[in-house]
Amino acid sequence: MGAMPRPRPLYLHRAVTRHGKVAWYVRRGAHGRKIRIRAEYGTPEFEAAYREAVSSGTPRQTPHTAARGTLGWLWMLYRQSNAWAALKAPTRRQRENIMVHVLKLAGDKPLSRITKPAVIDGIDRRAATPFAAKNFLATMRGLFAWAHNKDLVSTDPTAGVKVVKPKTSGFPVWTEQDIQKFEERWPIGTRERVMLDVFLYTGLRRGDAARLGKQHIRNGIIEIDTEKTGTRVTIPVLPVLQATLDAGPVGDLALIATRDGNPMRKESLGNAFADACRAAGIRKSAHGLRKAAATHAANNGATVAQLEAIFGWSGGRMASHYTKSADRRKLAVDAVGKLARK
């Protein structure tokens, strides 16, 4: 194991046990509780455990006072299952946040009361926010599919229930004018500029950009397993991005860090970037930058295979969308002269 980089990430401490083994732990202040990190230092698991410990201490626990046979009791069992452990950390956080509100309303209700009409009613209450309705159904479906498989419930109240996928053109793509406005407001040497250039010149999703640290960069090449699919992407660090990173400020385990050097959760990064956008007079998101990066790469001739290698896609569908758009644009430019009358 290599020596710990200096300066050491905030709240991270090193100790040697009585058996001569190195132990890492997070501790806030001289009298704070120690949170042991058992993953091997330098691994993605170590990085994730450090961020979790710093940002929220230990994961929230469902109270163990839920009466047997209630929704709260079932949720408690589910969170101790292998099915729950197999979910990615962002998915678990999202579903925990949803269930906080669900359990306030129905945690003490017997499972016999959680019927298909009750699930549909929960969806209807979220009709004004279709994506919230979709995530609510996914949370309930995961819970009851597991419970039904374990014979904890006789029927799955989510079976056959659907949420109409909202029709949307997606996140608006950043224009060159948007990027210029942001750069003028946030020059090189600002944390906000680091955010922009990491998004723009890597094409990483928000969660992966939040995790990206020096440990993912070797000899000018970024290699990181994407949070959403686990696909490893390989991205050369362009000179423009390297110049921004050299100017900083950057963190250690995470390049985009809080003002005191801590890694950020993707939700916090999204909020911070949104604030920076508003200050620059822009009403667009980080995902719009990912779309802008893909569009720019396709317009510059990137193939489907190259786009998938950069953006972590597979199956050809997403990459083909961008290459087809680029091909149509080129054909239109080449053919517009044919509209002229002799």
Query: Which domains does the chain carry?
Result: 12-56 (no CATH), 71-149 (1.10.150), 176-334 (1.10.443.10)
The per-residue pLDDT for 2 is 44
The per-residue pLDDT for 9 is 74
Question: Which tokens in the block code for residue 221?
Answer: 């090449």
The per-residue pLDDT for 139 is 95
In order along the chain (342 residues), what is the average pLDDT of each group of 10 residues? 53 80 79 78 73 60 67 91 86 89 92 94 88 92 95 93 73 86 96 94 89 92 86 88 94 88 86 92 86 77 76 69 60 54 54
The per-residue pLDDT for 4 is 41
Question: 136-140 long-range contacts, Cβ below 8 Å, gap at least 24?
Answer: 136/98, 136/102, 137/161, 137/162, 137/163, 138/95, 139/94, 139/95, 139/98, 139/99, 139/102, 140/102
* Strand-pair partners of 167: none
The per-residue pLDDT for 53 is 76
The per-residue pLDDT for 321 is 65
Asked whether the whole model's pTM tops 0.75, one would answer: no
